[in-house]
């Protein structure tokens, strides 16, 4: 079978208009060229589709049956073509990404707000995961983009840095912890609220392995709420502060090992990013802070 879309389009136009001349004009071809396409279609399927006079054409019984079958198929094909064209142009489709919870909670909420205003027809599927899971999701192709910290030496993943993230101690503005230099040793003197997993847990093991948290929680919002209610101080990544209410609270960067990390975009090497993914990365590059929150709070405190 050697049927072509152009032949089917010509057939449907002729069936609707009842005239080869009108159909040829609508298809923007000469009438002899149009007649050749119809004849080739009839030769391919082995059936006469039209009864022709000098001025008009009329469908045969077989032609009527063929038209009923073909017309809706061509419409669906045009609709599919339009939808995939919209996807290619970045105005429809879906974007799948995986991100650290601290980034999903703060920075990415702002980025997604602007992304959705520009691409309202796009569906976004975002998974919140620890960094190892973010990288694995990118490697498996489960998501197109990951937003997390760099994992050195992985040959399958490309990393595009965006900004530096710091671990910070969060406490009420007038808390005694902020009298003098910020150190890990000072945390021994106050009830500590930590996240059960993540960057603060790793840094604590390297800088103060004997430090025992008073409370462990799963979410940053919970930790900040407990700080606000006088249950202790907490350690959070600076990037997550965008998503929490910091009124009457203050944050200072912690020194030491594993207290800084580079945050960026991860994607498979040699992969061609979709227009939607590229647009999302561009927004990230425009919005991503460079220790902006920490510098702002230091200025407020001074």
pLDDT of residue 272: 84
Query: How does residue 294 score in pLDDT terms, banded at 50, 70 and 90?
Result: very low
pLDDT at 291: 42
Predicted local distance difference test score (pLDDT) of residue 92: 64
Mean pLDDT of 38-46: 90
Whether residue 6 has pLDDT greater than 60: yes
Bridge partners for 204 per DSSP: none
Output the pLDDT for position 1.
60
Q: What are phi and psi of 188, to 5 degrees?
A: -60, -25
Using only C-alpha atoms, what is the Rg of the chain? 31
Measured distance CA(226)–CA(245) in Å, rounded = 12
pLDDT at 74: 87
What are 169-224's pLDDT values in tens digits? 999 999 999 999 999 999 999 999 998 777 888 898 899 999 999 999 988 889 99
| Gap between the Cα atoms of 10 and 34, Å rounded | 7
């Amino acid at each position: 079978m050697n049927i072509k879309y152009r032949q089917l389009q010509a057939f449907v136009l002729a069936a609707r208009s009842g005239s080869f001349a009108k159909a040829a004009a609508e298809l923007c071809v000469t009438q002899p060229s149009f007649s050749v396409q119809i004849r080739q279609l009839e030769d391919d399927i082995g059936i006469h589709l039209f009864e022709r006079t000098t001025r008009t054409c009329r469908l045969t019984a077989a032609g009527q049956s063929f038209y009923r079958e073909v017309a809706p198929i061509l419409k669906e094909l045009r609709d599919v073509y339009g939808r995939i064209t919209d996807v290619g142009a970045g105005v429809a489709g879906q974007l799948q990404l995986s991100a650290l919870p601290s980034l999903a909670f703060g920075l990415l909420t702002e980025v997604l707000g602007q992304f959705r205003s520009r691409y309202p027809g796009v569906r976004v599927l975002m998974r919140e995961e620890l960094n190892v899971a973010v990288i694995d999701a990118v490697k498996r192709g489960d998501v197109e983009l990951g937003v997390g910290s760099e994992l050195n030496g992985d040959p399958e993943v490309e990393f595009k840095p965006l900004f530096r993230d710091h671990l910070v101690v969060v406490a009420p503005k007038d808390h005694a912890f902020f009298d003098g230099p910020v150190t890990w040793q000072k945390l021994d003197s106050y009830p500590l609220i930590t996240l059960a997993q993540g960057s603060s847990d790793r840094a604590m093991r390297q800088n103060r392995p004997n430090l025992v948290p008073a409370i462990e929680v799963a979410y940053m919002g919970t930790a900040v709420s407990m700080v606000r209610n006088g249950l202790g101080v907490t350690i959070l990544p600076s990037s997550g502060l965008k998503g929490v209410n910091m009124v009457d609270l203050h944050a200072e960067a912690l020194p030491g090992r594993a207290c800084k990390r580079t945050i960026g975009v991860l994607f498979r090497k040699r992969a061609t990013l979709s227009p939607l993914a590229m647009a999302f990365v561009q927004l990230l590059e425009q919005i991503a802070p460079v220790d902006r929150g920490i510098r702002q709070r230091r200025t407020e405190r001074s």
